[in-house]
Amino acid sequence: MASGLCIAVVGATGAAGQTTLRILEERKFPVRELRTFASERSVGKSVTFRGEPVAIRRLEPAAFRGVDIAFFSAGSAQARKYAPMIVKAGATVIDKSNAFRMDPDVPLVVPEINAHAARGHHGILACPNCTTIVTVMPLKPLHDAGRLTRVIATSFQAVSGAGVNGIAELREQTLAWARGEPLVPRHFPHQIAFNLVPAIDTFGPDGYTGEEMKLVNETRKILELPGLRVAPTTVRVPVFTSHSIAVTAETEVKITAAHARDLFERFPGLTLWDDPARQRYPMPVAVEGQDDCFVGRIREDLSSPNGLSFWVVGDQLRKGAATNAVQIAELLLRS
């Protein structure tokens, strides 16, 4: 293309990076030139974009000259090391790691919710944690209508949230079970096939994990509610793709189940899927590959007069990561 932008994808061989390439194609993002980066062992290999091979490059300052937007899909340590270097080379970085999310100078953006925050960036914009994005999407219309006071959220997180190693482990353990062989955990601390692991990330002194505190702190930042009470529990489940969250939200103004259905149905990026009589509710196998977050099982909380309970599912590789990042880039283009 003669017109368009020079785009970089760092971590292009990982699950989130591969999905980013796919989303750029699907949304017809104006890519004039694509540069891809991954770990040192991948340099010289290639990924496919628009049917053509693109060589993996080495991460170094010179490789980012002329880049307009860089999608960073590597870990937090790599982001802290390389993102400032990429910005110095002249690019805007959209980072999917935890490195900059709680930095007060870095916008934490979900475009349907706080697009205005993107205007205040200084070269780096952060994508929230995948679980946070899926959870906060239905919280926003409830907050606008009734002002949130408390959120209880239990997440059921797919193994692809842990990257390609998580996917491989579930597949290998399932095949081992079918062959009658021992199920050996290598990536997760316990067997993941046919099991639930109620701990993601390391534990803090208060008994909460790092993953759980991401949900607390990021939700507060995105919704601009620093005092919001959030009670999180995160669970790893033997599902390949799509995170599911059971949420109970309390508001100052009571929101009925019927009103909530109307709010969810009209909110961009949400799909209402709530027909229990026909066994119709969101499930990971139905939501995988979709950009919307699907919400159902909507009912008023039996234990709180202003409480509302619901079930929300989102493909964490798409809206939880790649789609959200590309949407942020589209915001930058429009502004």
- Catalytic residues, which ones? 130, 243
Q: Within 10 Å of residue 91's Cβ, how many Cβ atoms?
A: 23
**CB-count exposure of residue 74 (10 Å: 0-12, 13-18, 19+):** buried
Q: Give the contacts of 85 (CB within 8 A, at least 6 positions apart).
A: 61, 64
How many whole angstroms separate alpha carbon 72 and alpha carbon 10?
5
Q: Give the contacts of 242 (CB within 8 A, at least 6 positions apart).
A: 158, 284, 285, 287, 288, 313, 314, 315, 316
210-223 and 130-146 are packed helices; what angle lies between their axes, rounded to 10 degrees? 40
Say which amino acid occupies 234.
T
**CB-count exposure of residue 122 (10 Å: 0-12, 13-18, 19+):** exposed
How many whole angstroms separate alpha carbon 45 and alpha carbon 291?
29
Q: Give the contacts of 86 (CB within 8 A, at least 6 positions apart).
A: 8, 10, 64, 67, 70, 72, 93
Q: Which of 138, 131, 154 lies closest to 255, judged by CA?
A: 138
Q: Which two tokens stand for residue 118?
A: 């993107």
